[in-house]
Amino acid sequence: MSETGAGDVEAKAATAHPESNGTPALEVRSVSKYFGSVNALEDISLSVYAGQVTCVLGDNGAGKSTLIKILSGVYSPDNGEVLFDGEPVTFAGPRDARARGIATVFQDLATVPLMSVWRNFFLGNEPTRGKGPLQRLDVKGAQKIMRQEMAKMGIDVRDPDQTVGTLSGGERQAMAIARAVYFGAKVLILDEPTSALGVRQSGIVLKYVVQARDMGRAVIFITHNPHHAYPVGDRFVLLKRGRMFGSFAKSETSIAELTSMMAGGAELEELSHELQGTVDPSLKEVAKELAAEAPSNAQTPA
């Protein structure tokens, strides 16, 4: 079943995105990943192109994080293949993926709180000077680059030896993105970058996503918030319980449609009815909101 399923998705992807000609920067073909008896991912296919933002949407437990970890080299898929620039690849690890130009901002940001900002910025990719036993960190250079890159994100790092633990959540997010942009020559993967941010900071992050796209990078933007995905995305891939639920170009869908598909329209309506049957007034309020999100009512323009 996986063979034919993959073919279907491939065919659909090809027809759905006639504008994306050329080789995808990064592509997965019918990959699956199992953890014990749990199918975290089943038969997922996805192509991302340079100069485009591909949004991967899904609710909690949809398999978004597992997909990221396959794309960034943390996991290798149990089935299917990963193609980089059209060539099948097996990443030896995140270091290997990054060396090929795939940089990832993980949801937990992959920062070490007790280490300074510049050490975090270059973690796993330290610039060095000198040769042989005298090879050492280029501390001055690293601090300078870090400050420049952080300034581009609108953050002035006052003290380069400041630990990341003393940064605010938004600043830490900005650091992780600045780091990925700096190292991500071709593909930039952002795992829920806006989930912990305020309105303004989310805005800055989204602006950065667009910037990276305009610089010709293939951006993969993982989120469960269609309101953040829709304005910046070129194509939208929906995951649900580890499976592909759909793949759309921006012209084929709307923010309301995305929202309802993500939440699972029918299920949402059902839940709404269920809650309306209760006596608790606050739950009734929730039911009303759910009904508004359900597909029958979802006509609000983006």
Partner 1 sequence: MSATSPPIATPPAAAQDDERLVPISRLTRTLRRPELGSFLAALFVFVMFAITDSSSNHLWLKQTGIAAWTQQAAFFGIVAVPVGLLMIGGEFDLSAGVMTGVTAIVMALLVGKWHVDTWIAILITIAFATAIGLINGYIVVLTKLPSFIVTLATFFVLRGASTGGVLLLNSGSTQITVTTANPPGLHSAKSIFGSSFFSSGALPSGYSTAILWFIAVTIVCTWLLSRTSFGNWIFASGGDQNAARNTGVPVNRTKVLLFVGTALAAALVGIISFTQASSAVSEQGVGYEFFYIIAAVVGGCLLTGGYGSAIGAALGACIIGMAFEGVIYAGWDSSWDFAFLGVILFLAVIVNTLIYRRALKARR
Interface ranges with partner 1 (CB under 8 A):
19, 52, 72, 74, 93-95, 98, 104, 106, 108-115, 119, 122-126, 128, 135-137, 139, 151, 153-156, 158-159, 161-163, 165-166, 200, 203-204, 206-207, 210, 213-214, 231-232, 234, 249-251
- What does the block give as tokens for 211? 């910037």
The amino acid sitting at 22 is G
Q: Per-residue DSSP letters for 63-84?
A: SHHHHHHHHTTSS--SEEEEEE
- By beta-carbon proximity to partner 1, the closer residue of 7 and 165 is 165
Q: Are 89 and 82 in contact (CB under 8 A)?
A: yes
Rounded least distance, CB 122 to partner 1, Å: 7
- By beta-carbon proximity to partner 1, the closer residue of 59 and 126 is 126
- By beta-carbon proximity to partner 1, the closer residue of 8 and 159 is 159
Q: Report the alpha-carbon distance of residue 240 to residue 209 in Å, rounded.
A: 24
- By beta-carbon proximity to partner 1, the closer residue of 95 and 288 is 95
Rounded least distance, CB 222 to partner 1, Å: 15
238-275 per-residue burial string, b: 16 or more CB within 10 A, e: under 16? bbbebbbebbbbbeebbbbbbbbbbbbbeebbebbeeb
Rounded least distance, CB 299 to partner 1, Å: 19
Neighbours of 76 (CB within 10 A): 14
Rounded least distance, CB 74 to partner 1, Å: 7
Rounded least distance, CB 197 to partner 1, Å: 13
